[in-house]
Structures are given as structure tokens and as C-alpha cells.
Amino acid sequence: MHKRYSYILSLLVATVLVAGCVQTPVVSQADEQDGLVPRQTGLDSVSAAFAFDLSGAKVYLEPVAVEYSKRHPNATSPLRAKDYELRDKDMLRLQELLGETLSERFLLPRQSQLVADRAEADYVMQLDLSRFALGAPIDPLVSPWRTYTTQSAHGVLSGELTDSNGNPVMRFSDRRDIGENFGSFGPSGRLERFNNVTFWHDMRVDLRRAFASLDESLR
């Protein structure tokens, strides 16, 4: 009897955990105006046009827009808020990484592809990072000493896909904690060293997860 009770309890716990990973679809005013239907998703929100199909499409990726969380001055630190922002070369690398991971986890499964010329595209994708905050400056010249953080970065990743007429056909949004294996739950059970290498590694891993979840939401 005790074993059966434990088994049933384990099933209930597993069910609750799985259910907690899937967000209940909510219709926003913007989605309703654009005729987009909310989808069952593991992200915060995903909505798409009825019978949305991106098979064999050509997609142009707009330059990513980044909006940073406000940082308050710290009298004990020489670092400025600007030091916690991505440099021009970092923005170019981020744009390249977004294109790679979007193609790998979202477009290729649909036999779709990115194109460099907007005039050739069937759709245009705009990706944004808002409330974005780095765990520490990634420029070693700005922060030459060793820095330990609980995560590489966090922010809200969102995107909108429009057709050739500029009509939205899909949009999504999700809060991302990048480098979530850091800290007390990490392999060493303590803060991990932050640097340029760990940041870009964690960004790649997290973007793959995000676009894989987006892919699942629209199947």
C-alpha cells in the first residue's frame, strides 16, 4: 500500500512539473488586432496566424535591437553602465549567432533559410533583447581582474515575423536566464568565473534552447 501511494504521489508531482513548464495561452490586444492565435508553449508567449506554415520560405533577419536594464552608479566601483553594454564588434557577433541558431533550430526543420537580401525574402524577422543585463563586462580591458558571477546575463528575448506586406504572422517573447547552470547549482557548487568565452558559450546554448522551444510551439 505504501509503495502504491509513493508511486501515485510521484506521478502527481511529475504531472505538476510538466504542466508548470507549459504556459497557458493568453490572447493579447495586439495579437487579437493582428489575427494571431496564441499557442501552447514552454516560452512566456507565442502567437501565430491560423494555419501558420513557414515551409520552404526565405527569411531576412533584421539587425537585433538591444535595450539594457538600468544600472545605478556604485561609488565603490570604477565601472560605468556603458561598460556593461555590448561593443560594436559584440553586436556583430550577436547578430551572427542569432542567425546561426535561428537557422539551426527553427528554419532548417522547415526547409527554410535566411537570405542576405531583404528584397528576396518572403518574410522578415525582427529579434529584440530587452531588459538585457550582463553579469559583468565582457571586455577584459575594462575589467582585467577575475570576476565571478551567478549567471552570464539575463533579459527578454522577443521576435516578430512579418510577411512581404508587413503583416505580422508570428510573434513570441520569453524571459531568458543565460548561464543558468552557474552558481550554487553549478558543477562546483559555487560562483563561476565570468569571461568572454563563457558568455558566448552560454549565449549559444541558451539561444538554441529558445529557438528549439519556439519550433516545438509551432508544430
- Mapping DSSP to helix (H, G, I), strand (E, B) and coil, where does residue 99 land? helix
Cα distance between residue 114 and residue 119, in whole Å: 12
Is the pLDDT at 65 greater than 90, yes or no?
yes
Contact 169, 51 (CB under 8 A): no
Model pTM above 0.85: no
CA distances, 112 to each of 58, 108, 172 (Å) = 6, 5, 19
CATH for 27-217 is: 3.30.160
Provide DSSP, 65-93. Answer: EEEEPP----TT----GGGGS--HHHHHH
CA dihedral 133→138→142→144, nearest 10 degrees, is 130
Which of the pair, 151 or 205, is modelled with greater confidence?
A: 205
The enclosing H or E element of 30 equals helix 29-34
Is the pLDDT at 159 greater than 80, yes or no?
yes
Residue 196: per-residue pLDDT? 84
Residue 145: per-residue pLDDT? 61
Is the pLDDT at 31 greater than 70, yes or no?
yes
Residue 181: per-residue pLDDT? 54
